Amino acid sequence: MDTQGWQVLDRAHYLHPFTDHASLRQGGARVAVRGEGIYVWDTEGTRIIDGLSGLGNVNIGYGRRELVEAAASQMLELSYCQSFFKTTHRSAVMLAEKLTSMLPDSLNHVFFQSSGSEANETAIRLVRHYWDLAGRPQKRMIIGRELAYHGSTHMAASLSGIPPMHSAGGDIPMPSVTHIKTAYQYRNGFGMDPAEFGVLAASWLEDKILELGPDNVAAFIAEPAQSAGGALCPPETYWPEIQRICRKYDVLLILDEVVMGFGRTGHWFGHRRYGIEPDILQLGKAITSGYLPLSATVISDRIADLLIDKGGEWAHGYTYSGHPTCCAVALENIRILDEEKLVENAGATLAPYFKAKLDSFIDHPLIGDVRSVGLMGGLEIVQDKATREAFPYEAHIGDYCAAEGLKRGLAFRANGDTMSLMPPLVTTIEQFDTIFDIAREALDATAKEFGV
């Protein structure tokens, strides 16, 4: 079947996530057929550089045979195993042990799911259960941040701070969830000393806890740095203050590392990069480099001890919690990241180059701000660099720029008006040069179209 044939079938039957389906009537979706390394090919034979690592998950790149073999041998040995009824299996046990050996001493217990959204559902149910068991059932409120993304299920969408997610479908955010402003210096603290801004941004959490009453606040949830929010990277003073405030008011800290875990920050985990010790740590996406769906909720001893000793049966779980094949693939993925020193190389060699290249875009007439941590970066498009005024939403300038990139063979993404890049950890310096050449051409073409 040719490309058009696939597009017709696609339009007729396949509903895509986060997509304006009417827009697919013009031209249809690109039909991807193959991936290798940092490249994906479509039915027309066009090669695209995946500057987004899929959705921030394909950290070791496409087409690694070792992962296929790990999956195949696990499937042949034990294709599925439930662990509800006093049954366990080796790959989930090994992965739980492996993860906890890589994390702070207090994080010793792992619950598995298939997605980041489900992980965040688990975390909130767990937090509520914990405070009930601890005899403080009034601790119900969850504080999240504006522009956060924590997933698309009902609670995860509530935790997210993205307004269109709240208007679609109604009833969210749930009344027990509230949001504070985030550490977005360009919009929330422009011109301030970054260290002072970090302390100020953290104080918004304290203000909210005091407004709600500390006895009513169960947890604070945040990403170490925000990816979907538009590459929002906090100043160094932010996280130590947040940690101090959470401890002061006995508010549990849920750190959502679904994107940042497994090397994205140039460290194995975002909490290492920013020096945080959360009560609950969320991992997903690159835990398998996107080869199979898996997420992990890692729980501190403080919570787990109460759950295990006093909790009885906790009525929560999924058919695919700890799926043997997903766990086997995760173990192999972690082995590759480790043995090939991909995280160390990303931090020591690739990230400084990536940052220098990104920073050079501050001279571009469309770019008002440049932000990055590790191999996650963003270029914020503005209409007026002096006033920081954005283009009108209806202009969809970011989407225009992304389309210009794709035409030239680069997949990058508009998060609002911020052009985001999250390349695989196996990208070479030469490939970075190509990525940034194309990004510049796409921005130039966009500037021309918008008369800048």
Residues forming contacts to ligand PLP in the complex (CB under 6 A) are: 55, 115-117, 149-151, 223, 227-228, 256, 258-259, 284
Q: Which residue, 150 or 267, has its beta carbon nearer to ligand PLP?
A: 150
CA distances (Å), 401 to each of 38, 71, 383, 413, 449, in order?
Answer: 21, 38, 14, 9, 10
Least gap, CB of 284 to ligand PLP (angstroms): 5
From the CA atom positions of the chain, what is the Rg in Å?
Answer: 22
Q: Which residue, 227 or 289, has its beta carbon nearer to ligand PLP?
A: 227
Distance between start and end Cα atoms, the chain: 42
- Is residue 421 within 8 A of residue 380, CB to CB? The reply is no
Residue ranges in 213-321 assigned as alpha helix (H): 238-248, 270-274, 301-310
Beta strand pairing call for 217-222 and 141-145? parallel
Minimal CB distance residue for ligand PLP: 116
Helix pair angle (90-102, 324-339), 10° resolution: 40
Least gap, CB of 162 to ligand PLP (angstroms): 11
Least gap, CB of 56 to ligand PLP (angstroms): 6
Q: Which residue, 318 or 353, has its beta carbon nearer to ligand PLP?
A: 318
Least gap, CB of 226 to ligand PLP (angstroms): 8
Residue 280 CB partners (closer than 8 Å, separation 6+) = 123, 126, 127, 219, 252, 253, 254, 255, 297, 298, 299, 300, 303
Least gap, CB of 227 to ligand PLP (angstroms): 6
Q: Which residue, 3 or 152, has its beta carbon nearer to ligand PLP?
A: 152
Q: Strand pairing partners for 255?
A: 222, 281
Q: Which residue, 7 or 289, has its beta carbon nearer to ligand PLP?
A: 289
Q: Which residue, 149 or 239, has its beta carbon nearer to ligand PLP?
A: 149
Least gap, CB of 125 to ligand PLP (angstroms): 16
Question: What is the maximal distance between C-alpha atoms in the chain?
Answer: 66
Q: Which residue, 149 or 197, has its beta carbon nearer to ligand PLP?
A: 149
Which amino acid is residue 6, in one-letter code? Answer: W
In terms of Cβ atoms closer than 10 Å to its own Cβ (0-12, 13-18, 19+), residue 246 is: buried
Least gap, CB of 117 to ligand PLP (angstroms): 3
Q: How far apart are CA 161 and CA 229, in angstroms?
A: 9
In eight-state DSSP terms, residue 448 is H
Least gap, CB of 334 to ligand PLP (angstroms): 18
CA 376 to chain centre: 10
Q: Which of 443, 416, 323, 439 is nearest to 81 (CA)?
A: 323
Residue 29 CB partners (closer than 8 Å, separation 6+) = 7, 10, 16
Least gap, CB of 150 to ligand PLP (angstroms): 5
Q: Which residue, 7 or 265, has its beta carbon nearer to ligand PLP?
A: 265
Q: b/e string for 206-221 if b means 16 or more Cβ within 10 A? A: bebbeebeeeebbbbb
Q: Which residue, 55 or 94, has its beta carbon nearer to ligand PLP?
A: 55
**Order of strands, edge to edge, in the sheet holding 410-411?**
32-36, 39-42, 47-50, 410-411
Q: Which residue, 271 or 364, has its beta carbon nearer to ligand PLP?
A: 271
Least gap, CB of 384 to ligand PLP (angstroms): 30
Q: Which residue, 60 or 287, has its beta carbon nearer to ligand PLP?
A: 287
Q: How many Cβ atoms are within 10 Å of 363's Cβ, its own excluded?
A: 7
Helix pair angle (429-449, 351-359), 10° resolution: 20
